[in-house]
Amino acid sequence: MNTNPPAPLFARVALLGIGLIGSSLARAMRARPGLAGEIVANARTEATLARVRELGIVDRTETDPAAAVAGADLVILCAPVGTYESLAAAIAPHLAPGAIVSDVGSTKRSVIRDVGPHIPAGVHLVPAHPLAGTEHSGPDAGFAELFDGRWAILTPPAGTDDLAVARVRSFWEGCGAMVETMDADHHDRVLAIVSHLPHLIAFTICGTADDLADESRGQVLKFAASGFRDFTRIAASDPVMWRDIFLNNKDALLEMLARFTEDAQAMARAVRWGDAGYIEDKVERGRAIRRSLIELNQA
Amino acid sequence: MNTNPPAPLFARVALLGIGLIGSSLARAMRARPGLAGEIVANARTEATLARVRELGIVDRTETDPAAAVAGADLVILCAPVGTYESLAAAIAPHLAPGAIVSDVGSTKRSVIRDVGPHIPAGVHLVPAHPLAGTEHSGPDAGFAELFDGRWAILTPPAGTDDLAVARVRSFWEGCGAMVETMDADHHDRVLAIVSHLPHLIAFTICGTADDLADESRGQVLKFAASGFRDFTRIAASDPVMWRDIFLNNKDALLEMLARFTEDAQAMARAVRWGDAGYIEDKVERGRAIRRSLIELNQA
Contacts of residue B291 in chain A, CB cutoff 8 Å? 236
Mean pLDDT, all residues of chain B: 92
**A280 and B221 in contact by Cβ < 8 A?**
no
A216 or B242, which is more confident: B242
The CATH fold assigned to A10-182 is Rossmann fold (3.40.50)
**A151 and B222 in contact by Cβ < 8 A?**
yes
C-alpha triplet B114, B117, B120: angle, nearest 5°: 130
Q: What is the H or E stretch that residue A154 is in?
A: strand A151-154
Residue ranges per domain, chain B?
A: 10-182, 187-298
pLDDT the model gives residue B217: 64
**B289 and A190 in contact by Cβ < 8 A?**
no
Q: What is the H or E stretch that residue A179 is in?
A: strand A178-181
Separation of alpha carbons B149 and B147, rounded Å: 6
In this prediction, residues A139-146 reach a mean pLDDT of: 97
Mean pLDDT, all residues of chain A: 92
Contacts of residue B131 in chain A, CB cutoff 8 Å? 223, 225-226
Distance, CA of A155 to chain centre: 13
User: Does residue B190 have a pLDDT over 60?
Assistant: yes
Interchain contact A222–B (C-beta under 8 A): yes
Count of A–B CB contacts within 8 Å?
A: 297
For residue B268, the chain A residue with the least C-alpha distance is A254
User: Does residue B61 have a pLDDT over 80?
Assistant: yes
**Whether A245 contacts A107, CB under 8 Å:** yes
* Sequence-separated (6 or more) residues with CB below 8 Å from residue A144: A24, A27, A28, A30, A31
Q: For residue range B206-261, what is the model confidence (pLDDT) as tens digits?
A: 889 888 865 566 677 778 766 787 788 788 778 899 999 999 999 999 999 999 99
In this prediction, residues A239-250 reach a mean pLDDT of: 94
pLDDT the model gives residue A138: 93
Separation of alpha carbons B196 and B234, rounded Å: 10
In this prediction, residues B4-29 reach a mean pLDDT of: 95
Interchain contact A246–B (C-beta under 8 A): yes
Express as a percent the part of chain A with pLDDT over 90.
Answer: 79
Interchain contact B181–A (C-beta under 8 A): no
Separation of alpha carbons A155 and A157, rounded Å: 6
Interchain contact A257–B (C-beta under 8 A): yes
User: Does residue A243 have a pLDDT over 60?
Assistant: yes
Q: What is the H or E stretch that residue B270 is in?
A: helix B250-273
**How large is the C-alpha radius of gyration of chain B?**
22
B135 or A190, which is more confident: A190
3-state DSSP assignment of residue B9: coil
Interchain contact B134–A (C-beta under 8 A): no
pLDDT the model gives residue A48: 97
**Total Cβ atoms within 10 A of residue B7:** 9
Which of B212, B215, B287 is the closest to A239 by Cβ? B287
Exposure class string for B107-127: b at 16+ Cβ within 10 A, else e: bbbbbbebbeebbeeebbbbb
In this prediction, residues B254-276 reach a mean pLDDT of: 96
User: Does residue A298 have a pLDDT over 80?
Assistant: no
For residue A203, the chain B residue with the least C-alpha distance is B286
**B261 and A263 in contact by Cβ < 8 A?**
no
Separation of alpha carbons A105 and A82, rounded Å: 10
Interchain contact B182–A (C-beta under 8 A): yes
pLDDT the model gives residue A1: 54
**B208 and A256 in contact by Cβ < 8 A?**
yes
Alpha helix locations (H) across chain A? 20-31, 46-55, 65-69, 84-91, 109-114, 162-174, 184-191, 197-210, 213-223, 228-231, 239-248, 250-272, 276-298
**B190 and A253 in contact by Cβ < 8 A?**
no
**Whether B84 contacts B109, CB under 8 Å:** no
Strands B74-77 and A178-181: unpaired
In this structure, which amino acid lies at residue B116? G
User: Does residue A83 have a pLDDT over 60?
Assistant: yes
Q: For residue range A118-138, what is the model confidence (pLDDT) as tens digits?
A: 999 999 999 999 999 887 889
Count of residues for chain B?
Answer: 299
Interchain contact A84–B (C-beta under 8 A): no
A61 or B222, which is more confident: A61
Least confidently predicted of A149-153, A241-245, B231-235: B231-235
Phi and psi torsions of A18, nearest 5°: -145, 55
pLDDT the model gives residue B279: 95
**A284 and B235 in contact by Cβ < 8 A?**
no
With cut-offs at 50, 70 and 90, classify the pLDDT of residue B115: very high
With cut-offs at 50, 70 and 90, classify the pLDDT of residue A101: very high
Contacts of residue A239 in chain B, CB cutoff 8 Å? 280, 283-284, 287
Which of A199, A237, A280 is the closest to B240 by Cβ? A280
3-state DSSP assignment of residue B17: coil
Separation of alpha carbons B223 and B229, rounded Å: 9
pLDDT the model gives residue A226: 60
In this prediction, residues B35-51 reach a mean pLDDT of: 97
pTM of this structure: 0.90
In this prediction, residues B58-62 reach a mean pLDDT of: 98
Interchain contact A206–B (C-beta under 8 A): yes
For residue A149, the chain B residue with the least C-alpha distance is B225
pLDDT the model gives residue B299: 42
pLDDT the model gives residue A166: 98
Which of A225, A265, A296 is the closest to B297 by Cβ? A225
Interchain contact A213–B (C-beta under 8 A): no
Ramachandran region, residue A264 (left: φ > 0; alpha: ψ -120 to 50; beta: rest): alpha
Express as a percent the part of chain B with pLDDT over 90.
Answer: 78
Phi and psi torsions of B76, nearest 5°: -120, 120
- Which of B107, B229, B243 has the most A C-beta neighbours within 10 Å, making it the best mutation to test the interface with A? B243
With cut-offs at 50, 70 and 90, classify the pLDDT of residue B296: low
The CATH fold assigned to B187-298 is 6-phosphogluconate dehydrogenase C-terminal fold (1.10.3660)
A6 or B270, which is more confident: B270
In this prediction, residues B86-113 reach a mean pLDDT of: 98
**A131 and B272 in contact by Cβ < 8 A?**
no
Separation of alpha carbons A26 and A28, rounded Å: 5
**A231 and B234 in contact by Cβ < 8 A?**
yes
Query: How far is B159 from chain A, CA to nearest CA, in Å?
Result: 23
**Total Cβ atoms within 10 A of residue B46:** 10
Separation of alpha carbons A151 and A169, rounded Å: 11
Interchain contact B186–A (C-beta under 8 A): yes
DSSP of A182-226? --HHHHHHHHIIIIIHHHHHHHHHHHHHHTTHHHHHHHHHHHTTT
* Sequence-separated (6 or more) residues with CB below 8 Å from residue B111: B77, B81, B84, B103, B105, B125, B127, B155, B184
Which of A208, A233, A280 is the closest to B260 by Cβ? A208
Dihedral in degrees, nearest 10, Cα atoms A94, A100, A105, A106: 150
